[in-house]
Amino acid sequence: MEDAQESGECLVQNQKYHVERPIYNQEILQGQLHKRERTPQSLRQKIEHSCRCSSKKAKSHLYSFLPILKWLPRYPVKEYLLGDIISGISTGVMQLPQGLAYALLAAVPPVFGLYSSFYPVFLYTFFGTSKHISIGTFAVISMMVGGVAVRQVPDEVISVGYNTTNATDASDYYSLRDDKRVQVAVTLAFLSGIIQLCLGFLRFGFVAIYLTEPLVRGFTTAAAVHVFTSQLKYLLGVKTSRYSGPLSVVYSLAAVFSKITTTNIAALIVGLTCIALLLIGKEINLRFKKKLPVPIPMEIIVVIIGTGVSAGMNLTESYGVDVVGKIPQGLSAPRVPEIQLIPALFIDALAIAIVGFSMAVSMAKIFALKHGYTIDGNQELIALGICNSVGSFFQSFPITCSMSRSLVQESTGGKTQIAGALSSIMVLLVIVAIGYLFEPLPQTVLAAIVMVNLKGMFKQFGDVAHFWRTSKIELAIWVVAFVASLFLGLDYGLLTAVAFAMITVIYRTQRPQYRILGQIPDTDIYCDVEEYEEVKEYPGIKIFQANTSLYFANSESYTSALKKKTGVDPCAILAARRKAQKKHAREIKKANKSNDVEASVKHEIANDGLPVNGKFALVDADVQDGSPDELEHFVEPKTNIHSLILDFAPVNFVDSVGAKTLKSVSKVSFFLTRLNFFDDTVTRELLFHSVHDAVLACQGKDRSASQTALDH
């Protein structure tokens, strides 16, 4: 392998190319090229074209909306079915306990976690484009839902009129509270699904790019802390209120520690035992991953053991351990979500919709890249929107992709969405047949499952050291996302993190890298002279490069860097030029004593000057009108610069302020042509398509003349 690599490197080093061509500037090149003729379409024509339907177009849209129609007829049963069955069973045995556990995070009874693990998962089989992700309940989304449910239906509001020390009143109180929180969670699912559907149909799949990786990892790490804190009361068996909003973590910890003396020892022992078993099982699965045909399903094993011990020892009556309680048998009838709650939940639903989509599409892209297929981000939005909105009519709360289940589904041989469908059928069997068997399951067991599944998220604290070495700005995004989400709550924290990420983009454009380029000898390649020893500058020629777009926010820093790097002060050049022209105008006025001539000269001066916004002028032969005393103010005597080349290859955008400030180009020639930049004094002859063309053109001119060339 190394020999092949070395021979390849030698082959590249021995290859050479030789090209003879004229020196091209923009004027010459545009004269030799012919633009393709394009007939612009009116708005009416565009609408008519988009609405025109053919059988081929209809079939394409149908396959895009229902991907299962495309892959199911070509499903290779012999090669894929066994792997999908094993994967579906393995994922299903994880789906069941996680559905029960994450319902506690969402502040709803456990059975609604089972509903959320069936309907959306089954629907995704028909509409999703990823073959490997496992849709269903997820800790972060469940925590966001629970925070909204508790905020909208706090314990204090429901407890009015009820004596919670009385058994009957307490039962009625908890039933009424849970019903109202379920309504909030279901309406959130409906609204977030509608938002995802709208974004998908409007082709807004790109919104996930605004949730950059450091932001998502910082946000999910903070969410893990929220989740862990919320589960402490179940692990310890203490009774506390649930908090949401800013500083909810602090309030939750304070509430738990204030009642630490009331810890239920039996619940704590059961919970810690389950945590130990789960950690041991995960470690075995990790170490013997290649030897085990399928991972050991420790979560379902712990659930079965916990249920059996609780029922056998009657932990509820004997030791006061809280259990899951009644699980209705069978599927519930569809119900319309509470539409009147939509105005109060819209912002929360928007955050849940975007975070849920971001989680799903990021995992889907990872698996698609690994297995060599593509996913459609817009169709993923539509699929999630259908899963959430349709599922809400059957009392499911918002869902997304689960990282842990997706890894299991892929690693156990899952090939298509059939694996996800089989896992949902396993949950359905529990709902309609054996759900009642899990009624004695202690809540501390579910808390243990949730806590252990946070292990991967807590490992993300290692990102701090990684980003410290690689990028301080990305570290800042991670820290802001974590701290804001931790103390302000997941909703406000996410908004704060996104706003900060946008600010960092502006900051980066205002602090670009400025370089002076030189030539690698005997080549047409130009690199930073401060970076490489072999790179040499041409005498009298300065090549200046900035690696950012040019607009109002960084035009000042551009001219400052130009002055610092080259020794040329464009502002002083402009002032000297104006001074020389005014002096020339006074001489004309004195000689001719003519008002018409004076007015004409003034008009010419006004046109040559630039606004105060733009403090840059091109250096050309006209500058020689100024005296040596004037020139020494803006060109250092020792630099002996006769040509200045501005390399605009990295620039992809310029606005009107940038055009006025630099009178320059990039793709830019399009923007500048539209901004009426080129005129009789600034022609396309000063625009070149490569640095090397510009250098050769400058060398061909009189070296005693000062010339600024613009390079594209």
Q: Which of 83-97, 515-529, 602-616, 683-697: highest mean pLDDT?
A: 83-97
User: What was the pLDDT predicted at 673?
Assistant: 52
User: What was the pLDDT predicted at 270?
Assistant: 92
The CA distance from 260 to 309, in Å, is: 25
User: What was the pLDDT predicted at 630?
Assistant: 45
pLDDT band at 606 (very low <50, low <70, confident <90, very high): very low
pLDDT band at 609 (very low <50, low <70, confident <90, very high): very low
Contact 662, 550 (CB under 8 A): yes
Other beta carbons within 10 Å of 619: 23
Q: Which of 89-93, 99-103, 465-469, 604-608 has the lowest mean pLDDT?
A: 604-608
Phi-psi map region of 634: left, alpha, beta (phi>0 left; psi -120 to 50 alpha)? alpha
User: What was the pLDDT predicted at 97?
Assistant: 87
User: What was the pLDDT predicted at 663?
Assistant: 54
- Which token pair is 92? 């299903």
Average of per-residue pLDDT across 42-47: 77
Given a cut of 70, whether residue 615 has pLDDT beyond it is no
Contact 712, 687 (CB under 8 A): yes
Q: What is the mean pLDDT of the chain?
A: 79
- Which token pair is 610? 């630039």
Helix/strand number for the chain, H first, E second: 32, 8
Share of the chain above pLDDT 70, in %: 79
Q: Which of 413-422, 506-515, 637-646 has the lowest mean pLDDT?
A: 637-646
Given a cut of 50, whether residue 444 has pLDDT beyond it is yes
Longest alpha-carbon distance in the chain: 116
This model's pTM is above 0.85: no
Between the CA of residue 372 and those of 130, 277, 358, 654, what are the distances in Å?
11, 37, 21, 38
Between the CA of residue 569 and those of 517, 559, 606, 618, 640, what are the distances in Å?
18, 8, 21, 11, 14
Q: Which of 298, 324, 231, 311 has the alpha carbon at shortest distance from 271?
A: 231
Given a cut of 90, whether residue 389 has pLDDT beyond it is yes
Q: Which of 365-379, 546-560, 614-628 has the lowest mean pLDDT?
A: 614-628
User: What was the pLDDT predicted at 585?
Assistant: 73
Q: Which of 26-30, 328-332, 524-528 has the lowest mean pLDDT?
A: 26-30
Instruction: Say which residue, 85 or 576, is predicted with more confidence.
Output: 85
478-487: b (≥16 Cβ within 10 Å) or e: bbbbbebbbb
pLDDT band at 646 (very low <50, low <70, confident <90, very high): confident
pLDDT in tens, 428-438: 998 988 888 88
Given a cut of 70, whether residue 614 has pLDDT beyond it is no
pLDDT in tens, 202-238: 888 777 777 788 888 898 899 889 889 988 988 998 9
Average of per-residue pLDDT across 137-164: 77
Q: What is the 3-state secondary structure (H, E, C) of 207-275?
A: HHHHCCHHHHHHHHHHHHHHHHHHHHHHHHCCCCCCCCCCCHHHHHHHHHHHCHHHCCHHHHHHHHHHH
pLDDT band at 181 (very low <50, low <70, confident <90, very high): very high
Given a cut of 50, whether residue 347 has pLDDT beyond it is yes
Contact 608, 625 (CB under 8 A): no
Average of per-residue pLDDT across 286-306: 85
User: What was the pLDDT predicted at 707?
Assistant: 44
User: What was the pLDDT predicted at 434?
Assistant: 85
Instruction: Say which residue, 271 or 47, is predicted with more confidence.
Output: 271
Give 135's strand partners. 401
Average of per-residue pLDDT across 549-560: 76
Q: Which of 199-203, 288-292, 564-568, 595-599: highest mean pLDDT?
A: 199-203
User: What was the pLDDT predicted at 412?
Assistant: 81
User: What was the pLDDT predicted at 685?
Assistant: 66
Q: Which of 134-143, 288-297, 347-356, 376-385 has the lowest mean pLDDT?
A: 288-297
